[in-house]
Amino acid sequence: MWKRTRAEAKHASSECKRILKRRGYLVPESATKELQMYMQGVETALKGSEHDKLREALVGLDERMTKHLSFARKSAIREYAESIGVAVGIAIFLRAFVVEAFQIPSGSMIPTLQVGDHIFVAKFSYGVTVPFTDKKLVDFGLPERGDVVVFKYPGDPSIDYIKRVVGLPGDTVEVRMDQIFINGKAMPRENVPGGCGAEEEGRVFSSCELWSETLGTKVHDTMFYGEGDSFGPRKVPEGTVFVMGDNRDNSNDSRVWGQVPLGFIKGRALIVWWSRGPVKQDGLQGWFDAIRWKRLFTRIH
């Protein structure tokens, strides 16, 4: 009770000072002196430890503020509305310019990203865009080869996709028996022994192959469980990038529907902040067991 009364007293005193400072010219001098006297009473009571005296001083100040400053005092509803409005405004600003949350809906990026991962995407990685448009206010440069990016799907811009950047504007991309070649040069990769151990919607790929691949400065794992595919060569037009999923034999990407315009890229994937796999039993315990604790707050490579 004492802490709550102290908080209310401090708030009332601060509000009275603020109103007098900003709109004191509208208050008669006699009323200003009366308010200052009661504010002093609250300040004195705050230095003591007697709850009754502090409550009495607070009630007195509140009554005088209602009498003399009611034209400028904020109602509780207005204060809550303003607080909520500020919070919503900050959230909209952060989502538009800084960071956005994204949930992984499919297994096309296994093993890097699992179905059920929730990630943060840096909206400012390649520039600042006008919200709800593709127009850039500030350009920070192109994506780097190997970046994991979220973008608007060229076939339906209302849908967001996530893939890895493989080819940059002007590159010639080719795949020979699952190995990527950029401008005729093979991208380094090494087989990772032990199988995949990746999971998609409860199905474990135990018979697939896992390869560690290097694209530019990025080293990441890729997964294959087919006979070995080939593609291209295909030149990447200016103003676009060529993207592929890390689950190479189960990814709908630039090999199917073409390149991604640079203006469609929303940002670079940063971290996995939450991850939960399929719930295998009913109840709270089943939901709790499905959380992938080791994936929480892991950086996306």
Please list the active-site residues: 108, 163
Residues with Cβ < 8 Å from 1, sequence gap 6 or more? 51
CA distance 185 to 182: 5
Lookup: tokens for 170 = 């002007």
Return the ∠ at Cα 200 (arms to 157 and 175), rounded to 5°. 65
First to last CA, the chain: 52
Lookup: tokens for 227 = 């006979």
- Compute the Cα dihedral for 154, 254, 188, 192 and give only its sign: positive
Give the neighbor-by-neighbor strand order of the sheet with 218-224: 189-192, 209-215, 218-224
CB 272, CB 247: distance < 8 Å: no
Tell the burial category of 136 from Cβ atoms under 10 Å away from its Cβ (0-12, 13-18, 19+): middle
